[in-house]
């Protein structure tokens, strides 16, 4: 795990460390399925309060429209035998992935008629970190190292050496080794106490 405060720095460090670890023979490195930082395309819809006021609308009206269209709004349930199925209203998947369709979602005016969402909001597409993992209140990026014919101890020692010489870890960022290596380290500590 790579711990640190800035998500973009964490993502960059994760990619750099991944490249270094891939050069170690006997390992298969991948972004951890659950804890890796993931970047995804994100659509930002920013309502314009002045335009909302000009049409006699509230920010809640725009937010409810966007939430209903994109995430869906539970409107009831359908019962069949002993099963209950929720009824959710939202726009179809192919329209949710089209910026032109989203811009043209109609919004009812209080005095009748309608306008489209683009009349009261601006749109931008961006790539942002969408998966953030925390441990003990700190953000981290997780990498998974799978072994192929080598022991944990020598691979971790080689990995630590390569990372120390090839990667500059900024102040405020730390690396933590867990999993089988952590179990091995704990077992060695207990064995030393016993001996």
Mean pLDDT by 10 residues, the chain (195 residues): 87 86 79 69 91 93 91 92 91 88 92 93 85 80 77 77 88 81 60 71
Q: What global pTM score does this model have?
A: 0.57
Q: Which of 153, 152, 130 is nearest to 39 (CA)?
A: 130
| Amino acid 118: pLDDT | 94
| Amino acid 184: pLDDT | 58
The string of DSSP letters for the chain reads: -EE-S-HHHHHHHHHHHHHHHHTSTTEEEEE-TTTS-EEEEEEEEEE-HHHHHHTT--HHHHHHHHHHHHT-EEEEEEEETTEEEEEEE---HHHHT-HHHHHT-EEE-TTS-EEEGGGTEEEEEEEEEEE-EEETTEEEE-EEEEESSS-HHHHHHHHHHHHHHH--PPTT-EE---THHHHHHHHHHHHHHH-
| Amino acid 185: pLDDT | 60
| Amino acid 155: pLDDT | 77
């Amino acid at each position: 795990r790579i711990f640190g405060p800035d998500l973009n720095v964490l993502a960059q460090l994760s990619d750099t460390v991944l490249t270094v670890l891939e050069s170690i023979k006997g390992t298969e490195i991948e972004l951890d399925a659950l804890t890796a930082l993931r970047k995804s395309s994100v659509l930002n819809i920013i309502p314009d309060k002045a335009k909302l006021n000009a049409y006699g609308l509230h920010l809640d009206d725009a937010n409810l429209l966007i939430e209903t269209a994109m995430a869906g709004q539970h409107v009831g349930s359908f019962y069949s035998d002993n099963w209950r199925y929720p009824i959710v209203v939202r726009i179809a998947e192919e329209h949710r992935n089209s910026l032109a369709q989203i811009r043209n979602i109609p919004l009812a005016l209080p005095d009748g008629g309608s306008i489209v969402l683009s009349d009261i909001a601006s749109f931008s597409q961006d790539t942002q970190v969408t998966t953030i993992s925390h441990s003990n209140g700190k953000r981290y990026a997780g990498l998974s190292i799978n072994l192929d014919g080598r022991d944990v101890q020598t691979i971790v020692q080689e990995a630590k050496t390569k990372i120390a010489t090839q990667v500059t870890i900024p102040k405020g960022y730390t690396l933590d080794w867990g999993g089988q290596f952590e179990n091995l380290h704990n077992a060695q500590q207990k064995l030393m106490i016993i001996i």
